[in-house]
Structure 1
């Protein structure tokens, strides 16, 4: 009998080394994230593996699981604790070793394995760990599966079964790289800065981009799990500014930045200006809908309003569906609608055939950007960006808010703006034109300026994004309007970055 996990254990004690610790808040909407050592221990990870194996059985899926780990100093030990739990539950485990998250998704198809459990904290700071899971490729778990997994683990509803086994797939990255690069080379000679923040993508991204025909300028591609320069997150301005400096120094055509587990890509143009991922999505949607008639796209609620107002997309018959933020939500919606692609402001892009297999892969996104430039040989990345209607957009801004409090705060903010709309009151000096409450609240006023507040799905934070098609000051007005409501809640702390 495996012991029932405890929510808190003190490190460096007999209990900590003898019992599983699993904090309940680590089970998030569509994956799992904990501070390793403070919120979960290795026996807790083992319990997670046993619980995942039990859930796979419940779902009626064959008990075979692909697993891999990202480049952090503790990820391999976490993976092996997870594997021991999966094996105890009777699972056959296919280990692909050090990998990017999309490599694990690819392995589900390449090895014909139904389930995945990728050990990664994605772009979270060092100290965090987590697991991205799925049992129906190319999809990953949503709230229903995560809620049931939480119940199984915290209540120790484990089912030890014989038959668990392990197979290590040697040199698996070569198969992934071959799959991406088995294609015609670019006709246009592109010089690309490839930035990896010393994260996992550094082992793979430069050779993939070189193989498709790019002249690669590597930036922080050496693997170093201390992340000495900056956290590998292409939404953070520190990483984007480092890419900018390299683009300008080397006179590159484009800068491509990858997050810690390689499922997202950030873009900097040839003038050194960062292009937020939602605008990159609009550019790619223009390119793809010119080739594919009446193309359907899914975009998240954090994304620019240009997806519905851009005259080029309208002329080309592109159809747009705004949906919940989060890689699992977006992946599922893109799959269910049979959309050509899904675009998320964070940089998670989901390409269905002929571009991809439906999962998020930063290298597939980077290749799509290069192909777009290849199809426009007379235009630079800045030309393509400047051809979009002008809007003023903020980066993603995240004020601290405890996991236990953030959903209650967002519910209150939603009710506040619903009340303003009902009473006909103004926000930032204008009446509310539209409210979208599929994921937090997105408030659009009469001139098209909008602001979003939602709860982060994977960190103790809220998410705030604002945009205006009118002027920078109107963008700032919307931020003040959203922030003033948040400041009425003492649970909301400081921002990680602000406009």
Structure 2
């Protein structure tokens, strides 16, 4: 028998070293995230491996899994604790070593393995750990699987059949890099800043971009798990500003920035302008729709309204399908609808066949951006951006809110705007044109200005985004509106960044 995990244990005690600790809130909507040593210990990770192996048997999945870990000082030890639990549950583990999350997803295809468990905290600050999991490639777990996994782990309902095995896959990164680069080189000469924030992508991204024929200017590509300059997150303005400065210094054509586990890509153009990932998605949709007229694009609710209103996309007959934020939700929607691409404001892009395999890979996204420039040799990235209808958009802004409180607060905000809409009451002096409540609430006014409030799926935070096609002042009005509603809830704390 394996002990029932405890929600809290005191570090540096006998109990901490002899019992599993797993805080229940670490089981998120579509992956798992904990503060290592404060919310989960190594025995707790072992329990997670046992639970995942048990769930695989329960679901009738062939008992083999691919695993890897990101570049944090503790990720390797966490992975081996996970592996020990998986093996105790009778699972054969294929370990690809230090890896990007999309490299682990690719391993499911390259090694013909049904399941994946990637140890990563993605873009979360140091101290966090987590696991991205799936048993049906290219999909990852959603709420149903995560709820069942939580029930198994916290109740210690383990199938400890033994008989597992371990296989280390040598030189797997070379297989992944060959898959990305075994193609014609770019015909256009491009100078590219490749920014990795000292995260895992630094070991791979510069090589891939250079192999395509671009001149690479590396920026913070040395692996350093202390993240000495900024967190590797291409949604954070600190990283985007570093990319901007490097573009201007080196007179580069663009900068490509990758998050901590390499499944997202951020872009800065040749003038140093940060192109938020949803606007970059509109540019890619314009380019790809010429090759695939009438295509469907899945778009998360944080993203710009241009996917539905851009005259070029309308002319090309594309369909915009606004859906829930979150890599698992988006991946599943792209797979179910047969959409060409799914675009998420965070920078997760999901390219379906014939471009990709349906999972999010920052390097596949980067290659799509370079191919777009290759197909438009007479225009700089800034000129392509300037061809979009003007909107004023905020970055993703996240006020702190405890995991135990955030969903209840979002429910209250949703009800607030539903009540206003039912009464015909104005928001910022205008009628409500549309309410989207598939993921939190996105309230759109008559002039197309909108604001979104939702719960973060992987951190103790809320998420706020605002946009206006009218003016910066209207964008700020929308922010003041939704922030005013949030300030009626004292549990909502300070923002990580604000307009």
Q: Same fold (TM over 0.5)?
A: yes
Q: How much does 1:163 deviate?
A: 1.8
Query: Which residue of structure 1 aligns with residue 146 of structure 2?
Result: 146
Query: Which residue of structure 2 aligns with residue 215 of structure 1?
Result: 215
Query: Which residue of structure 2 aligns with residue 79 of structure 1?
Result: 79
Q: How much does 1:78 deviate?
A: 0.1
Query: Which residue of structure 1 aligns with residue 17 of structure 2?
Result: 17
How many residues of Structure 1 are paired with residues of Structure 2 in the alignment? 499
State the 4+ residue runs in structure 1 displaced beyond 6 angstroms. Answer: none
1:295 has 2:295 as partner: yes
What's the RMSD between the two structures over aligned residues?
0.4
Q: How much does 1:161 deviate?
A: 1.1
Distance 2:306 2:296 in 1: 15
Query: Which residue of structure 1 aligns with residue 5 of structure 2?
Result: 5
Query: Which residue of structure 1 aligns with residue 163 of structure 2?
Result: 163
Query: Which residue of structure 1 aligns with residue 176 of structure 2?
Result: 176
Query: What's the CA shift string for 1:347-399, capped at 9, x where partnerless?
Result: 00000111100000000000000000000001000001000000000000000
Distance 1:319 1:435 in 2: 19
1:438 has 2:406 as partner: no
Structure 2, unpaired ranges of 5+:
none
Query: Which residue of structure 2 aligns with residue 421 of structure 1?
Result: 421
1:194 has 2:194 as partner: yes
Distance 2:229 2:423 in 1: 50
Q: How much does 1:429 deviate?
A: 1.3
1:230 has 2:230 as partner: yes
Distance 1:392 1:252 in 2: 25
Distance 2:209 2:428 in 1: 45
1:434 match: secondary structure:
strand
Query: What's the CA shift string for 1:100-159, capped at 9, x where partnerless?
Result: 000000000000000000000000000000000000000000000000000000000001
Q: How much does 1:428 deviate?
A: 1.1
Give runs of aligned pairs for residues 70-469 of structure 1, distance below 5 A. 70-469=70-469
Query: Which residue of structure 2 aligns with residue 473 of structure 1?
Result: 473
TM-score (norm 1): 1.00
Distance 1:482 1:320 in 2: 25
Structure 1, unpaired ranges of 5+:
none
2:431 match: secondary structure:
strand
1:430 match: secondary structure:
coil
Distance 2:192 2:27 in 1: 38
Query: What's the CA shift string for 1:58-92, capped at 9, x where partnerless?
Result: 11110100000000000000000000000000000
Query: What's the CA shift string for 1:29-73, capped at 9, x where partnerless?
Result: 000000000000000000000000000111111010000000000
Q: How much does 1:173 deviate?
A: 0.0
Query: Which residue of structure 1 aligns with residue 489 of structure 2?
Result: 489
Distance 1:378 1:427 in 2: 44
Q: How much does 1:23 deviate?
A: 0.1
